[in-house]
Amino acid sequence: LARGAAGTDLRGRHVVVSAGGTREPLDPVRFLGNRSSGKQGYALARTAAARGARVTLVAANAALPDPAGVDVVPVGTAVELREAVLRAAADADAVVMAAAVADFRPAVYAAGKIKKKDGQEPEPVALVRNPDVLAEISGDRARAGQVIVGFAAETDDVLANGRAKLKRKGCDLLVVNEVGERKTFGSEENEAVVLGADGSETPVAHGPKEALADTVWDLVAERLG
Ligand code: CTP
Ligand code: CA
């Protein structure tokens, strides 16, 4: 396989990677967030750059250093991430959605800090749906032949859930992780199966996030032809 060692199989390509986890503000000091570290997305950005790609990294709240030679676009919320991904995807050969995008956001943003009221229980927090960026860019491709990759963490029947999600999203590849006790957020390693819309299944043994990233780029490069 034309691996990273060659350093050239993505030369002349523009790839977009989203990474980290969105934060959905409730008031100026509080948000709904998730535990995504951003490490897998940053590994994807680094390995794509090493293989010669021009890389745009849409980074949601990841406390990680900017990878060298990568164009980093910082975002906070799912709505901001959508705007940045759509803008960068317009001329991209591939888009990899490694970010953990919040499914919901608070229906109301309080401009002032929410305060306790004496003797009163708190109001419930009403939520509304966020846009599904992966489904949107997959259903309405910015360029013919653009390769789109999603990520999914699943439990129970991991492969069946992954297959159903791949179909629902309409992307070309879905990297499916099994989540469980051993597999914690923020770890340096990952283990996955990459499902293809063409029916392919590529298992990736437990190992560094760079190794999974290189397998994803191998599969993307094959599809770019
Ligand atoms: N994703 C997205 N926009 C969202 C939610 C998810 O683009 N609003 C992307 C993620 O970046 C990821 C993929 O969709 O690449 C799968 O995310 P996941 O949360 O597993 O999918 P959901 O459709 O939200 O399914 P679930 O109800 O299982 O959370
Ligand atoms: Ca979700």
- 197-213 pLDDT, tens digit each: 999 999 999 999 999 99
Q: 117 C-alpha to center of ligand 1: Å?
A: 36
In tens, the pLDDT along 183-194 reads: 656 778 888 999
Identify the CA nearest to 206 among candidates 225, 223, 187, 189: 189
- 121: pLDDT confidence band, cut at 50, 70 and 90? very high
Structure tokens at 48: 């794509």
In tens, the pLDDT along 95-106 reads: 999 999 999 999
Q: 213 C-alpha to center of ligand 2: Å?
A: 21
130 lines ligand 1 (CB under 6 A): yes
Question: Is residue 77 over pLDDT 50?
Answer: yes
Phi and psi of 157, rounded to 5°? -85, 85
Q: What is the pLDDT of residue 87?
A: 98
103 lines ligand 1 (CB under 6 A): yes
34 as an active site residue: the answer is yes
132 lines ligand 1 (CB under 6 A): yes
In tens, the pLDDT along 44-56 reads: 999 999 999 999 9
Question: Is residue 5 over pLDDT 60?
Answer: no
Residues 6+ positions from 8 with CB-CB distance below 8 Å: 51, 52
97 lines ligand 1 (CB under 6 A): yes
Q: What percent of the chain has pLDDT over 70?
A: 95
185 is in an annotated binding site: no
DSSP 112-149: S-----TT-PPPP--EEEPP-HHHHHHHS-SSTT-EEE
Amino acid in the structure at residue 186? G
Residue with the two structure tokens 């708190």: 122
Question: Is residue 1 over pLDDT 50?
Answer: no
Question: Is residue 4 over pLDDT 50?
Answer: no
Q: What is the pLDDT of residue 187?
A: 79
Of ligand 1's listed atoms, the one at least distance from the Cα of 100 is 11
25 is in an annotated binding site: no
Q: Which of 34, 130, 161, 177 is labelled catalytic?
A: 34
Question: What's the mean pLDDT when you consider all of the chain?
Answer: 94
169 is in an annotated binding site: yes
Q: What is the pLDDT of residue 24?
A: 98
209 is in an annotated binding site: no
Question: Is residue 3 over pLDDT 90?
Answer: no
Identify the CA nearest to 137 among candidates 181, 184, 95: 95
Phi and psi of 80, rounded to 5°? -65, -40
Q: Is the ipTM of this complex over 0.95?
A: yes
Q: What is the pLDDT of residue 2?
A: 45
User: Contact at 8 Å (CB) between 37 and 29?
Assistant: no
150 lines ligand 1 (CB under 6 A): yes
| Nearest listed ligand to the Cα of residue 154 | 1
Q: 25 C-alpha to center of ligand 1: Å?
A: 19
- Measured distance CA(157)–CA(11) in Å, rounded: 38
What is the C-alpha end-to-end distance of the chain, expressed in Å?
A: 13
What average pLDDT does range 128-152 have in this prediction? 97
- 7: pLDDT confidence band, cut at 50, 70 and 90? confident
Q: What is the pLDDT of residue 180?
A: 75
In tens, the pLDDT along 17-28 reads: 999 999 999 999
Amino acid in the structure at residue 207? G
**Checking DSSP bridges between strand 54-60 and strand 71-75, what pairing results, if any?**
parallel
User: Contact at 8 Å (CB) between 55 and 17?
Assistant: yes
Amino acid in the structure at residue 166? L
- Measured distance CA(74)–CA(51) in Å, rounded: 23
Write down the H helix ranges in the chain.
39-50, 78-89, 133-139, 158-169, 209-224
Question: Is residue 181 over pLDDT 70?
Answer: no
